[in-house]
Amino acid sequence: MTKPTIVDIANELGITPSTVSRALAGNANVKESTRKAVMDCARKMGYERNDLASDFRRGVAHTVGIIVPRINREFFSSIISAAESVFVEAGYTVVICQTHEKAEDERRALKTLASSRVAGILISHSAETIDGKDIRETLAGSNIKLVQFDRVFPSLPGSVVVNDDFNGAYAATRHLIANGYKRIGALVGYLDTDSFRNRFEGYKAALTDAGMQYDASIVYKETIVPETGYSCASMAIDAGCDALYSSGDFSALGALECARDRGLDIPGDFGIVGTANEKFGAMIAPSLSSVDQHSAEIGSNAAKEMLRLLSGKSEGGSITVGTSLVVRRSSSRNSK
């Protein structure tokens, strides 16, 4: 009672495996009646293609690997979710690997996927990964297609999908300015990451364009967690700020708590805009304005670009996904 193969179907119908294979594959050169007979017989016998054999024969799996630092982060799981939908639609299965932000795990994941002969890899690099050396080596002479997203090394082959971080931060800052805030600090994150640097630039440009003074003393280059949000907000308030742009929502939350502890009214006395549009932002009081990164869009764009690379319709390139400012209470002085 072992699984039927195309040979079994062929024997059953008195034809050859090649014809069965062609019929099953939807090849044009098969008589309609033959195709029908094959299909019927396959169904009747409970035939299921052995993808292992098929992939092996073709030399490449109909599989795409996705490598992310952590699966259980809203940003990444949304990206994976959107990408999965696109890939399934196109007949690809999706293998996921997480690196836990470790370069070593990233190396291992790359090796595994290369051994599995995946058709392509979508990757957002671990925090520890400092260059594209490993990935370049692993992919060399393998024609596995590559799409990087969010954290990318532009020098690598393939395509790249990133957020328009500059304009996100720009819009957030302009919004604060439009709401009458006069001295706007910024918690911008570590600047060795492109996206953080771009946000920083967007913040600066917005100030400049509005004719406001850029003041390096109220820019905080710390990691974006609640604790730093709290401490940086504290410094900002001491420095006379009446608003803070934060490169993350968790740090924005910390800032919010600090302002509250200081007895400041939000948004009356102090305005805050975060980044990432985490779910909790809509649920806290006061609700948090935030730059939404359109993570699902990043995922579907990355997946579609991968399909284009695989079909030869793209040679590689760069895609920028827009952000949008979600205005909530924490920065809405005007509509007060």
Partner DNA sequence: TTGTAAGCGTTATCAT
Partner DNA sequence: ATGATAACGCTTACAA
Is 142 a residue that touches DNA (CB under 7 A)?
no
Among candidate residues 255, 277, 274, the one with its CA nearest the CA of residue 266: 255
- Considering only residues 19 to 58 of the shown chain, the ones binding DNA according to CB under 7 A are 19, 21-22, 24-25, 28-31, 33-34, 49-50, 53-54, 56-58
Stretch that binds DNA, among 17-25, 132-140, 190-198, 209-217 (CB under 7 A): 17-25
99's tokens: 């690196």
Q: Are 264 and 300 in contact (CB under 8 A)?
A: no
Tell me, residue by residue from 247 to 266, as one string, x for binding to a copy of itself by CB under 8 A and - for no binding.
Answer: ------x-------------
Q: Are 151 and 195 in contact (CB under 8 A)?
A: yes
Is 130 a residue that touches a copy of itself (CB under 8 A)?
no
CA-to-CA separations, 68 to 37, 49, 152, in angstroms, rounded? 45, 31, 12
H or E stretch including 63?
Answer: strand 63-68
Among 30, 61, 139, 259, binds a copy of itself (CB under 8 A): 61
Helix (H, G, I), strand (E, B) or coil at 146: strand
Alpha helix segments (H runs only) across the chain: 6-13, 17-25, 32-45, 51-58, 74-89, 103-115, 133-139, 165-178, 194-209, 226-238, 249-261, 295-310
Tell me, residue by residue from 140 to 179, as one string, x for binding to a copy of itself by CB under 8 A and - for no binding.
Answer: -xx-------------------------------------
Is 133 a residue that touches a copy of itself (CB under 8 A)?
no
Which residue type sits at 159?
S
Is 190 a residue that touches a copy of itself (CB under 8 A)?
no
Is 80 a residue that touches a copy of itself (CB under 8 A)?
yes
Q: Are 330 and 286 in contact (CB under 8 A)?
A: yes
Residues within the interface to DNA (CB under 7 A): 2-3, 5-7, 14-19, 21-22, 24-25, 28-31, 33-34, 49-50, 53-54, 56-59
Give the interface with a copy of itself as residue ranges (CB under 8 A). 1-3, 48-53, 55-56, 59-61, 63, 70-74, 77-78, 80-81, 84-85, 88, 93-98, 100, 108, 111-117, 141-142, 253, 278-280, 283-285
